[in-house]
Amino acid sequence: MHVLGVCDHGTGDDALERVVDRLVDRLEREGRVGVVRYDATIADGMQAHDSLTVGGDVSYELGADGDWAASGTGMTIESVVDQLAVDCDYAVVVGVDGLRHPTVVVGADGEAAASADENDDRVIAAVEAPGDLDSDAVLAALEDCDPHETLESLVDRVKRSPKAELSGAIATFTGRVRAKDDADDARTQYLEFEKYEGIAEERMASLKTDLESRDGVLEVELYHRTGVVEDGEDIVFVVVLAGHRGEAFRTVEDGINRLKDEVPLFKKEVTVDDEFWVHERS
């Protein structure tokens, strides 16, 4: 699933919603769209940027007309996005600054829009008014970005495989950010991953094909996040659909080991005391 943020830098709710409507209409031609909104006013003392924490009111619906919707105060934007990843091709998050996902900025004026575009690499389009929006260009830029996946979305995908009726096992691996190796270590705040563009995708696809060629292995899904991944968050998933547990377990272990060895991903570690590229200390 691809996630797109849409936020306003001074034009007002009407302009923001017109941009959202145009984008959702365009994305719905390609697949199922979830629309996520956040209202911080329900939480005492919270501001809009607090929408990434639990406390405000998060609502989400499918499609521009809201054929199905849900809301609640025990959710965060990211937890809702994770839920939508199982069923949707796209999620549009409205009115939230500071998302880790690609974003369209509806700017107060041309200068503000240009500044947002230049200073934030998450901004894939910045428009002064709804009429300036090129929804086809936004779609193309969005699909050039990494998708958002969860373990649940990958497991759901292999379960829907035409080969699933031959399967008696699904094995998974989840790698996450470890705060410490030992109790006395400086705490890791986050890891930041960069990939060798083009080569990383090629190696990942080759590895997937190789693993799926094994006897008894039916489907393999591999996913590694890039960018900033904070303490306790998930980094990498390997999911294997197989005829039996033996080949499923072996393929999961080989898959993560080979992904780490063969796919060019570079890791920066940021602790409370230091920051460094891990490959420079190996």
In CATH, what number is assigned to the domain containing residue 179? 3.90.1170.40
| Digit-coded pLDDT (tens) for 203-258 | 999 999 999 999 999 999 999 999 999 999 999 999 999 999 999 999 999 999 99
pLDDT of residue 72: 54
Give the end of a domain, one of 126, 144, 162.
144
| Cβ–Cβ < 8 Å for 101, 109 | no
CATH of the domain at 86: 3.40.50.300
- Domain count for the chain: 2
My answer on whether 157 and 79 are in the same domain is no
Could you tell me which residue, 109 or 55, shows the higher pLDDT?
A: 109
Q: Per-residue pLDDT for 126 more than 70?
A: yes
Q: Per-residue pLDDT for 45 more than 50?
A: no
Distance CA 122, CA 22 (A): 20
My answer on whether 82 and 157 are in the same domain is no
| Digit-coded pLDDT (tens) for 131-187 | 999 999 999 999 999 999 999 999 999 999 999 999 999 999 999 999 988 888 889
The pLDDT-based confidence of 48 (bands split at 50, 70, 90) is very low
Q: Residue 243: which domain range? A: 151-280
pTM exceeding the 0.75 threshold for the entire prediction: yes
The three-state secondary structure class of 187 is coil
